[in-house]
Chains A and B, each alone.
Chain A
């Protein structure tokens, strides 16, 4: 590496594309997203990438950085650069649109496939009184802070092998619905999570948990779904 410069390789084009190399000045407190932005502004105006909030809330800037899926806006270059070298690619397991932009439609389709929040109460009723210390609320709280960045989806090997697999994020979402006492059809959420391509397809490799930028454990949520499915079967309930 030349002093003060980063060797950056960025994927350009579609599936048949190739890497392009850039020399980007190394700066203090520089994030990977800063590097991509600098390349786009200074060297490659046609470079396509996706970002929005830049502070780790919106979940739109995830890319593959030196082989691992990461949220680029909160990933400091000095933490991941390999002797000043960065290789930046789009997220795995999603169709590529162009450059660093993946099509996340399947990811969100699977997310909604497990169910969306539909409560029993109306706006006219007072808020439900849910004890934060209850077992179910604690389980839902542990999984609720997902930012939908698709890092877990890209990290999961099973998603790569089995295209019908719902993936860690959707199943993690299902676990929050199953444990939310305000949800009208909790059995339905469990039923959808344990269908074909559901929680039982998980190998418990833990890659989702390892890579989740906000420190969630979809692995634990999926294990919870399997456990709930197992005991409800033994107790003779439909779901």
Chain B
């Protein structure tokens, strides 16, 4: 994938994540202020297609966005370059997807 593809993907995922981050932060404040317990939160999220979609999209966007930025940092600050760097970042993206989706499943799956 060329530099401009990566650049475009990073900008577009940033666009997607900007509102998601805001909603996520508001949600945290709301949940904490309201004194919701973990069980009460899970009660609301489990089985919810909306939250599954919201956080699923969040995880995928972050998994694309973060490795592209990290790739730039690594290229400037470490000797890692070229294909080894790209493969490392691909592995990092997959790790984010696996860990992220696992967390999404834990929040929205089960229960019922």
Q: Does A230 interact with chain B (Cβ within 8 Å)?
A: yes
Majority DSSP secondary structure for residues of B touching A = helix
Q: Which of B23-76 contact A (CB under 8 A)?
A: 72, 75-76
- The total of chain A residues at the interface (CB under 8 A) is 14
Contact in complex: A230, B11 (CB < 8 Å):
yes
Contact in complex: A194, B4 (CB < 8 Å):
yes
Partner of B3 from the list A158, A161, A162, A200 (CB cut-off 8 Å) is: A200
Contact in complex: A161, B4 (CB < 8 Å):
no
Chain B 1-24 near chain A by CB (<8 Å), digits 1 or 0: 011111110010000000000000
Q: Which of A133-186 contact B (CB under 8 A)?
A: 158, 161-162
Kindly state the separation between the CA atoms of A200 and B7 in the bound complex, as whole angstroms.
Answer: 7
Kindly state the separation between the CA atoms of A201 and B4 in the bound complex, as whole angstroms.
Answer: 10
Contact in complex: B7, A158 (CB < 8 Å):
no
Contact in complex: B76, A194 (CB < 8 Å):
no
Contact in complex: A226, B77 (CB < 8 Å):
no
Kindly state the separation between the CA atoms of A226 and B11 in the bound complex, as whole angstroms.
Answer: 11
Kindly state the separation between the CA atoms of A173 and B75 in the bound complex, as whole angstroms.
Answer: 24
Which B residue's beta carbon lies closest to that of A197?
B3
Kindly state the separation between the CA atoms of A194 and B3 in the bound complex, as whole angstroms.
Answer: 7
Q: Does A67 interact with chain B (Cβ within 8 Å)?
A: no
Which A residue's beta carbon lies closest to that of B11?
A230
Which A residue's beta carbon lies closest to that of B82?
A196
Kindly state the separation between the CA atoms of A65 and B19 in the bound complex, as whole angstroms.
Answer: 46
Kindly state the separation between the CA atoms of A36 and B77 in the bound complex, as whole angstroms.
Answer: 36
Given A161-B77, A200-B3, A233-B5, 10 new contacts (CB under 8 A): A194-B2, A194-B3, A194-B4, A198-B3, A200-B7, A226-B7, A230-B4, A230-B7, A233-B4, A234-B8
Contact in complex: B8, A195 (CB < 8 Å):
no
User: Which residues in B have their C-beta under 8 angstroms from that of A189?
Assistant: none
Q: Which of A206-239 contact B (CB under 8 A)?
A: 226, 229-230, 233-234
> A144 to nearest B CB, angstroms?
24
Q: List 28 A-B contacts (CB under 8 A).
A: A158-B76, A161-B76, A161-B77, A162-B75, A162-B76, A194-B2, A194-B3, A194-B4, A195-B2, A195-B3, A196-B3, A198-B3, A200-B3, A200-B4, A200-B6, A200-B7, A201-B3, A201-B72, A229-B4, A229-B7, A230-B4, A230-B7, A230-B8, A230-B11, A233-B4, A233-B5, A233-B8, A234-B8
> B4 to nearest A CB, angstroms?
4
User: Which residues in A have their C-beta under 8 angstroms from that of B7?
Assistant: 200, 226, 229-230
What are the nearest 8 A-B pairs in CB distance?
A161-B76, A229-B4, A200-B3, A200-B7, A194-B4, A162-B76, A233-B8, A230-B8
Kindly state the separation between the CA atoms of A196 and B75 in the bound complex, as whole angstroms.
Answer: 11
> B9 to nearest A CB, angstroms?
10
Kindly state the separation between the CA atoms of A162 and B4 in the bound complex, as whole angstroms.
Answer: 18
Kindly state the separation between the CA atoms of A1 and B77 in the bound complex, as whole angstroms.
Answer: 41
